[in-house]
Amino acid sequence: MSLLNVKDLKTSYGPVNVLAGVSFTVEPGETYALVGESGSGKTTVIRAIAGLAPAQEGSVTFEGREIRGASERELRPLRKDIAMMFQDPVGSLSPRLTIRSLITEPYRIQGMKDRDLDAEAKRLLEMVNLPAHFADRYPYQLSGGQARRVGVARALALEPKLILADEPTAGLDVSVQGELLNLMNDLRERLGLAMVIITHNLNVVRHVADRMGIMYLGRLVEEGTTEAIFKNPRHPYTRCLLSANPEPDPDARLERIALKGEPPSLLRRPKGCEFRERCPFAQEICTQTPQWEVANGHGLRCLAPLS
Amino acid sequence: MTDTLLEIDRLSVDYETARGDLKALRDISFDVRKGEIVGIVGESGCGKSTLISSILRLTAPNTRFRQGEVRFKGQDLLQLPERQMRNLRGADISIVFQDPMQTHNPVLSIGQQMVDIQHRSKASKAEKRARAAKMLGAVGIPDPEARLAQFPHEFSGGMRQRIAIAMALMSEPDLLIADEPTTALDATLEVQIIERLQELQQEFNCAILFISHHLGVIAELCDRVVVMYAGAVVESGDVREIFHDPKHPYTRRLIDCDPGHIKERARVLPTIPGEVPDLANLPGGCIFRDRCDQAMPRCASHVPPLIQLKDGHHAACWLNHKEAAE
Amino acid sequence: MAKSRTELGQIVTGVARDPLGLMGLIIVGTIVFCAIFAYWIVPFDPVGMNIKDRLQGPSWTHLLGTDQLGRDTFSRVIAGGQVALQVALPAVFGAMAIGLTLGMIAGYGPKWLDNLLMLFFDTIRSFPTVMFALAVVALVGPSLQTVVFVVMATSIPTYGRVARTQTLTLRNSEFILAERSMGASMTRILGVHMLPNIVGVLAVLAAMDIPTVIALEAGLSFLGLGVKPPTPSWGALLKDGYSLIRQTPWLVVGGGLPIILATLGFTFLGESLRDVVDPKLRKQR
């Protein structure tokens, strides 16, 4: 049984359907990356899983239990097992609380007051390689990298089974980004966590994710192991994303596949293949609507796939 | 050197704070030639924003210029009367900011804003409007005539940044300062913006000072690179020299850290442990010493000077001095 | 608790560093000190009459002279300060507490509750304060409690609206989402995470509001709608002084000066407090 099973998840805000049916699974201990441009709906997916965004249709099961549309009361015990990390490292920390209060907040919320919170704070700070005296600081006194590690510490406090991380490296300097990814890789191996990471930074995905899904206009267009997708992307959109990744080498002018324009409005979804108008490889057949097809664990929504 | 457009000469800038003087820029020197793209790379706290505001003289009230000059076409901008400085901004020197969502006035149409910024020109309103439409077309906004009537919120982030570039180029400036213009955008749009900037730079032949922490973008776009760390220039030179043969440990390790460099899945990614030193309480010697894996006794006591190693390639590190190695 | 103490300490030092703030602090401190220790400071009984010493000018015995009943004006000014604060502090803090609670509920709760509370706020705001005061006084008669009630009721919407706007802005911030993702209850989110970020703004508003309330109390007393005589009040002093201005100017001075000083003091303090508390400015310090 998969740890997390998202099936045909749909979300609309009025006439705007942000998620038009998203399905994927995450196994225990696995890291799954959701990749896409802004507006692709990736943030909505993880917020809907955590019950922070509405999802009108579809299902989300965690360890076999349906959690879509569950009430706050029903979700509370599950909050121990699913932790979230948000985009803004400093902004996701309550500004008037000390780091000690912030990282022990999960214990207080879950009513585990009998624990020695000072000791827990110390243990968690140590786990994310921050000095113990940071417990007395406030969020605004931290750098982005330090605040991010506080976020990791808080997410790990209750030893969750799944972490949902929204752009975990956003706003971090390159020299610090590696530290965070190493930390997350290390903790994942030690604690056997599963993770869903959403990002538009493909360089990050390559080093942390086991499998990845590419989202476009609230749908998955390709899914597979990270290795397979980096080596042999089948969907033109994936290919474009991969080639739009400037390399730190002035001589590596890779054959870039120019992506035309910007994602269309969700209010006017294109007919047929929704990527057709921007696709450099579009063909006659693409005026028809492509279906999601899976072969050898590799999912694809394209009528004219690349080989 | 008649083709030098902007010369930053031994510029030092402090911020007066309650904790004492914050030495935001120390002894910065580099130049930008006509029609070239110079990239400034550095991480948070390296002094990029202070540098830009110093060039434009849009500094906070507690800023103190301690020494040095900012010469633009031979004229020291720090000595210029405010009125002349105002005539320079937006005309000879333009800027594109990081956040495209906040650069436009939300209650005026794009067309109105683009006409307004031509206030120095004596052309008729219709001519100004036509020029605005032409510029929008030049930055790749489809159907520019019709879109002039629209308001900023009707455009996406990527479009707004392109409009910002169009507006910055309206006056045909000699120097365009681009302050992390692609940081807030997706990788796909980032690439579109870079390519557009390259084309426009050819067309208008203006120099660009491109500030970014994204090494891939710098490598792709720039002719020359200035690497800054904790308020000082640690290395500068031709883009190939910098990326293929870095002469400062910080530059070398910064490039190593970029995950775009590492093709195979890595269990452990390289990092630069440690923190940027406190600018209000700088340690003696080399500023990078505490994080450097090649530090020598000399680095603790003497500040390494920025010296020329090859034609145009400068670095500030004792490793490049023969006598220090012994 | 140690946390809030150091934070309060930071705010006080911040205010004291600003010259205007320091001045505000000194004036307000003096007024509060005089109000608390009024009983020991006053040289004469503020309501004790002494007909043969009536309508005197300033002298060493009567620093600000006496009124038509021979009461010592200086003593009445000091005691009037006590009355002013007895009205202003409970009214302002009561209004702030109620406004804060209602505003946060409006901002965080369901849409229908928000609409209902906003309607309530707008209804109250549409009454002119003085008219409302006249109506209430006509119903229950003038007293200190009536003034407190009127002032409190009419200021609730101001605090409520500010608290609501602040709550709406904070509601979608990532740290509140983070709390929700951990399963924090609504009371915890409002009490532990939102309140500390809103209360600063409202405290500034309250400090600026106190002089308005003092002036309002004086105005109501001046009209004879405030505290009942012979209770000393700055407004009542002004009223007496106004009718006796041909005989002696000192009553007007005695009633007017403290109102001006209190207004200035609380305004300086409030403005300085705003600069210190404002989180955007704070980060740069």
Tell me whether residues A178 and B187 touch, CB distance under 8 A. no
Band the pLDDT of C280: cuts 50, 70, 90: very low
CATH number of the CATH domain containing B56: 3.40.50.300
Contact residues on chain B for A142, CB-CB shorter than 8 A: none
> Has residue C110 got a pLDDT over 80?
yes
Contact residues on chain A for B188, CB-CB shorter than 8 A: 37, 240-241, 244, 259
Least CB-CB distance to C279: which of A75, A95, A109? A95
Number of separate domains in chain B: 2
- DSSP state letter for B89: B
Band the pLDDT of C159: cuts 50, 70, 90: very high
B272 with B314, same domain: the answer is yes
**Partner chains of C (3+ C-beta pairs under 8 Å):** A
Least CB-CB distance to A248: which of B243, B265, B269? B243
Tell me whether residues C197 and A93 touch, CB distance under 8 A. no
Q: How far is A251 from chain B (nearest CA, A)?
A: 8
Contacting residues for B271 by C-beta, under 8 A, at least 6 apart: A175, A176, A178, A179, A182, B257
Q: Pick C72 or A230 by higher pLDDT.
A: A230
Q: What's the longest Cα–Cα distance across chain C?
A: 76
ipTM score = 0.86
B256 with B160, same domain: the answer is no
Q: Where are the alpha helices (DSSP H) in chain B?
A: 48-56, 82-88, 110-116, 125-138, 144-147, 157-169, 187-204, 215-221, 239-244, 249-257, 297-301, 322-325
B140 with B274, same domain: the answer is no
Contact residues on chain A for B259, CB-CB shorter than 8 A: 174, 177-178, 181, 203-204, 206-207
Tell me the pLDDT tens digit for each residue of B4-56. Answer: 999 999 999 999 887 788 899 999 999 999 999 999 998 888 888 899 999 99
Instruction: State how far Cα A30 lies from the chain centre.
Output: 13
Contact residues on chain A for C179, CB-CB shorter than 8 A: 94, 105, 109
Tell me whether residues B271 and A262 touch, CB distance under 8 A. no
B185 with B312, same domain: the answer is yes
Sign of CA dihedral A167, A172, A173, A174: negative
The neighbouring-strand residues paired with B33 are B4
Q: What is the rounded CA–CA span in Å between residue A85 and residue A97?
A: 18
Instruction: Please give the full DSSP string across B223-265, using - where no structure is assigned.
Output: SEEEEEETTEEEEEEEHHHHHHS--SHHHHHHHHH-GGG--S-
Q: What is the rounded CA–CA span in Å between residue C260 and residue C254?
A: 11
B227 with B304, same domain: the answer is yes
Contact residues on chain C for A47, CB-CB shorter than 8 A: 177
Residue where a domain terminates, one of B170, B189, B209: B170
Contacting residues for C277 by C-beta, under 8 A, at least 6 apart: C11, C200, C201, C203, C204
Q: What is the rounded CA–CA span in Å between residue C123 and residue B229?
A: 59
Least CB-CB distance to A174: which of B190, B239, B257? B257
Classify strands B20-33 and B175-179 as parallel, antiparallel or unpaired.
Answer: unpaired
B160 with B59, same domain: the answer is no
B189 with B314, same domain: the answer is yes
pLDDT of residue C3: 44
Q: What is the pTM of this model?
A: 0.83
Contact residues on chain B for A248, CB-CB shorter than 8 A: 215-216, 218-219, 243, 255, 258, 260-261
In whole numbers, what is the pLDDT of chain C averaged over residues? Answer: 81
8 A C-beta contact, residue C240 and residue C251: yes
Contact residues on chain A for C6, CB-CB shorter than 8 A: none
8 A C-beta contact, residue B312 and residue B238: yes
> Has residue C247 got a pLDDT over 80?
no
pLDDT of residue B158: 81
The neighbouring-strand residues paired with B37 are B208
* Phi, psi (rounded to 5 degrees) for A282: -65, 145
Contacting residues for B194 by C-beta, under 8 A, at least 6 apart: A246, B182, B217, B220, B221
Tell me whether residues C173 and A91 touch, CB distance under 8 A. yes
> Has residue C211 got a pLDDT over 70?
yes
Nearest residue to A184 via CA among A276, A76, A83, A113:
A83
Band the pLDDT of C76: cuts 50, 70, 90: confident
Give the structural domain span for B272. 4-92+171-325
Q: Kindly identify which residue of chain A lies nearest to residue B46, measuring between CA atoms.
A: A173
Query: Which of A121-130, C37-46, C117-126 is predicted with the least confidence, judged by mean pLDDT?
Result: C37-46
How many inter-chain contacts (A to C, CB under 8 Å) are there? 62
The residue ranges of chain A whose pLDDT is under 50 are none
B128 with B185, same domain: the answer is no
Tell me whether residues A174 and B220 touch, CB distance under 8 A. no
Band the pLDDT of C285: cuts 50, 70, 90: very low
Residue where a domain terminates, one of B170, B197, B224: B170
8 A C-beta contact, residue A129 and residue A187: no
Tell me whether residues A92 and C174 touch, CB distance under 8 A. yes
Tell me whether residues A182 and B188 touch, CB distance under 8 A. no
Query: Which of A135-139, C232-236, C264-268 is predicted with the least confidence, judged by mean pLDDT?
Result: C232-236
Calculate what percentage of chain C has a pLDDT beyond 90: 19
Cα three-residue angle B13-B14-B20, rounded to 5 degrees: 170
How high is the mean pLDDT in each 10-residue block of chain B (326 residues)? 84 88 92 93 88 91 92 92 89 87 86 89 88 87 87 85 88 91 80 85 90 89 94 94 93 88 80 86 89 90 90 91 59
Asked if omega into A270 is within 30° of 0 (cis), the reply is no
Q: Kindly identify which residue of chain A lies nearest to residue B260, measuring between CA atoms.
A: A203
Instruction: Please give the full DSSP string across C35-53, using - where no structure is assigned.
Output: HHTHHHH-SS-TT---GGG
> Has residue C246 got a pLDDT over 80?
no
B164 with B250, same domain: the answer is no
pLDDT of residue A255: 67
Residue of C1, C10, C108, C174 for testing the chain A interface, max A β-carbons within 10 Å: C174
B263 with B276, same domain: the answer is yes
Residue where a domain terminates, one of B170, B191, B225: B170
pLDDT of residue A253: 64
pLDDT of residue C255: 76
B70 with B125, same domain: the answer is no
Q: How many separate helices (H) and strands (E) can be counted in chain B?
A: 12, 12
Contact residues on chain B for A249, CB-CB shorter than 8 A: 219, 243-244, 261
pLDDT of residue A254: 61
pLDDT of residue B234: 95
Q: What is the rounded CA–CA span in Å between residue C269 and residue C278?
A: 14
Classify strands B307-310 and B313-315 as parallel, antiparallel or unpaired.
Answer: antiparallel
Nearest residue to B164 via CA among B111, B97, B118, B115:
B97
**Partner chains of B (3+ C-beta pairs under 8 Å):** A
Token pair, residue B35, equals 């029609």
pLDDT of residue B200: 86
8 A C-beta contact, residue A135 and residue A121: yes
pLDDT of residue C278: 63
Q: What is the rounded CA–CA span in Å between residue B35 and residue B294?
A: 37
Tell me whether residues A250 and B194 touch, CB distance under 8 A. no
C-alpha atoms less than 13 angstroms from C-alpha of A176 in its C-beta half-sphere: 22
Q: Kindly identify which residue of chain C lies nearest to residue A164, measuring between CA atoms.
A: C181
B212 with B315, same domain: the answer is yes
